[in-house]
Amino acid sequence: MRRSRLLVIPVAALLMLGVAPALAGCSFQTVVKDVTGGNVDLGGDKVPADFPKSVPLYKGAVVFGASVGSGHGKVWNVTVKVPGADAYTDIQKQLADAGFSGQFGAQAPDGGGTGTFANDQYGVLVVVTGAGSNGWVANYSVSRAGVQTPAPTATP
């Protein structure tokens, strides 16, 4: 349960960054600055400079790279081109070889799939999907593991 919460946070944060400007009619840069206090790297077609080196990425062209937040609240998102729907098998092996546990649990009817992985440092959500003119892509959302949860206090 805790691992799935770690993976939902980066996806929700990145979706909000993409959807909020459209709904509010504000510029994307203004919303990102307001939401993150300036702690954002919209790397465009590059992997963010501080992307965790222990998280292997499929060796494909980078379509999009970004990071949001700082410290233990930092989240990275990278999308790379992959040769096809079955790239998830290679991705799963790369992550397992790097010490991550997890697997792809949901495969789409047309191929691709969604997998969750974690080690003691990071949680990784990977989605392999068709992307129209971009062919097939793998989207990696990475967050730090071990986010501190406040301990409950006893009531008298």
Distance between the two ends of the chain, CA-based, in angstroms? 29
Phi/psi at 126 (nearest 5 deg)?
Answer: -120, 130
Q: What is the dihedral of CA 86, 82, 118, 94, to 10 degrees?
A: 80
Does 22 map to a domain? yes
- Helices H, strands E: what count in the chain? 3, 7
Does 54 map to a domain? yes
Provide the domain count of the chain. 1
Does 109 map to a domain? yes
Distance of CA 21 to the CA centre of its chain: 20
Does 150 map to a domain? no
Q: What is the pLDDT along the chain (156 residues), one digit of tens a residue?
A: 444 444 444 444 444 444 333 334 444 444 444 554 555 555 578 999 999 999 999 999 999 999 988 888 889 999 999 999 999 999 999 999 999 999 988 677 777 899 999 999 999 999 999 988 879 999 999 999 864 444 455 555
Does 154 map to a domain? no
| 8 Å CB contact between 87 and 138 | yes
Does 155 map to a domain? no
- Residue 116 DSSP symbol: E
Cα angle at 28 between 128 and 71, to 5 degrees? 70
Quick one: tokens of 59? 């060796």
| 8 Å CB contact between 117 and 141 | no
Does 101 map to a domain? yes
Does 96 map to a domain? yes
Q: Residue 11 sits in which domain range?
A: 2-144
